[in-house]
Structure 1
Amino acid sequence: MSTTPAAGATAVPPLFQGLFDDAAVFPPGNLPVAEAVPAHRAHRAAPYADAVGPLLCGAGRLGELAAAADAAGGTAADGTGPRLRVGLVLPGGSSELGPALTAAAPFAVAGVELATRDAHEAVAALDLLLPPDVPAAVELPRELLRGDGLEEVLDVLVDSPYRAKFRTGGVVAGAFPDEAEVAGFLTGCAQRGLPYKCTAGLHHAVRHTDPATGFEHHGFLNVLLAAAETDPKAAAEILAERSGAVLAEAVRALTDRQVTVIRNSFTAFGTCSIAEPLDDLAALGLLSPALTPQEDR
């Protein structure tokens, strides 16, 4: 299958192409911007580049990012280097959108992630200000996505050009939703044909308990396999699976059509480590070791 590398294969399987947005500067990684830019450029030049999405940057750090990009080889603004593909993360809501788009002029804006408490207001702001070729995702606080709130938000977004965004972890235990909550979001999107991205807590392929913090982390393979489900109970069961062998076998059994359906739903997630998810896939036999960062081999 296309999801399993043949011996010596060096192509990133379609299931994982563009899946890993580079969130190196965000917690818990917190890589300095001056280090994140050359590291991202190295990822984009590596054999596994097809797996890597844009470099994510918060609205308040775009000036710092431009300076780091100049120091690391130039930006489009000075004409000396390739345009850095950047995803704009706007935690402050729609008021940040216009200034961030202006500040991001030196970069190739690959997407916008807008946090808000009002989906209608966010959609209106994006409709007004966002260039038509730039995709966007809208994130609401999890407390507003419970009960009827989830249905209302998803109904707003499904009538717009924009994706949903869901937070699957963080730096405190309460930031990690349980299987039922994630399943409700995934299946609500699947029922509507609404694409989404996830962020935080998905560095590893398989659901696990972090031995250092005790936090329950969802696995990105669990989320991928649950993405096509429309039944919350079935999705929750997949999200709860802790066997890498079971998940890897399920991935190998996917048809090309199923892979397309999954990735049309679950488009990407932010990870502060590009190496960890790639190494996990290689360990499970789902990615050629040649497609993992050299320093980790």
Structure 2
Amino acid sequence: MNTLPPGGVIPELFHGLFDDAAVFPPGNLPVVDAVPAHRLHRAAWYAEAVGPLLCGAGRLGELAAAVANSPETATAQGRASGADGAVAAGGRPLKVGLVLPGGSTELAPALAAAAPFELAGVELATRDAAEAVAALDRLLPPDVPAAVELPRELLRGDGLDAVLDVLVDSPYRAKFRTGGLVAEAFPDEDELASFLTGCARRGLPYKCTAGLHNAVRHTDPETGFEHHGFLNVLLAAQETDRTAAAAVLAERDGEALAKAARALTDHQITVIRNSFTAFGTCSIAEPLGDLAALGLLSSPSPLHQEDR
């Protein structure tokens, strides 16, 4: 049975789960502010929970300038003459996840523009999974992981199986959008469960994006949008039956979800995280705060505004 670690240690269930999407909506943090904020995350006690800084292809130049002009880079360059302008504090390149909403035509120029950074992954949006896989096979360095996202309307009915069958024969993950700026951007439990169980039956890993800032499923009191909880998704990731997965996704009792998370075995955690690898969140502090409130995380110090 999984037991909680001592304060300040990130449980294995949450390692690398939170990709830093601070510059994307609804957070929209300016790139010049996102760079030092990400560095703080990477140096904090919860760093093991934090993935790369996500950046759209069109903002890589802005990101490089923000890194080059930051005080930490100046200090690093002072210690190592000739260091590249996109290094992070300590002289290491900034770890970046490349988001390509424009499809495979963006891939080659974006890879070139991302050369100064440590490329942690590529997320490629497309309407043709086979074409995207072919482009990634041709252009992506073999040590860089990638995820392929198709519009949700193409993943309904037989379309879902067709897309997942293409991806399962490739080295790439699937990516699924779980929210957005309008109510229609949020899939219901059955739609998300179909995706999760379709991936689970194939052993296909995936990541999610948008709308998962909180641990537990809830209705946003300001917008009325129905948000999935990332803890719901984690627990549903081990299911291969769509009805069972949908029931887990629909659960709104945080204590019940926390109890289920505590009861996970090491094997179950491995299965879950081999399936659900990460999600993009514009706040790092918010999901961590939710986990602490549920007793699934013990922090050595409060999460302050600068951690957001």
Q: TM-score, normalised by structure 1?
A: 0.96
Residue number in structure 2 paired with 1:240: 250
Paired amino acid for 2:134: A
Equivalent pair of 2:67/2:86 in contact (CA under 8 Å): no
Residue number in structure 1 paired with 2:8: 10
Alignment pair present for 1:178 and 2:176? no
Residue number in structure 2 paired with 1:211: 221
Distance in 2, Cα, partners of 1:78 & 1:291: 33
Query: Structure 1 residues 293, 71: CA separation in 2 closer, same or farther (over 3 Å shift)?
Result: farther
Alignment pair present for 1:263 and 2:273? yes
Question: Which secondary structure state, in structure 1, belongs to the residue aligned with residue 108 of structure 2?
Answer: helix
Query: Structure 1 residues 126, 79: CA separation in 2 closer, same or farther (over 3 Å shift)?
Result: closer
Q: Which runs of 5+ in 1 are unaligned?
A: none
Identity rate, percent: 77
Distance in 2, Cα, partners of 1:272 & 1:122: 26
Aligned length: 295
Question: Which secondary structure state, in structure 1, belongs to the residue aligned with residue 300 of structure 2?
Answer: helix
Paired amino acid for 2:232: N
Give the Å deviation of 1:10. 2.1
Equivalent pair of 1:137/1:197 in contact (CA under 8 Å): yes
Equivalent pair of 2:64/2:86 in contact (CA under 8 Å): no
Give the Å deviation of 1:290. 2.0
Distance in 2, Cα, partners of 1:15 & 1:31: 27
Give the Å deviation of 1:5. 3.1
Superposed, 1:1-297 pairs within 5 Å as 1-2=1-2, 4-6=4-6, 9-72=7-70, 73-74=72-73, 77-78=84-85, 81-290=91-300, 293-295=303-305
Equivalent pair of 1:199/1:271 in contact (CA under 8 Å): yes
Give the Å deviation of 1:231. 0.2
Equivalent pair of 1:209/1:216 in contact (CA under 8 Å): yes
Give the Å deviation of 1:4. 2.2
Question: Which secondary structure state, in structure 2, belongs to the residue aligned with residue 270 of structure 1?
Answer: strand
Q: Which moved more, 1:73-82 or 1:94-103?
A: 73-82
Distance in 1, Cα, partners of 2:60 & 2:302: 29
Query: Structure 1 residues 221, 97: CA separation in 2 closer, same or farther (over 3 Å shift)?
Result: same
Give the Å deviation of 1:2. 4.0
Distance in 2, Cα, partners of 1:256 & 1:193: 18
Question: Which secondary structure state, in structure 2, belongs to the residue aligned with residue 289 of structure 1?
Answer: coil
Distance in 1, Cα, partners of 2:140 & 2:105: 13
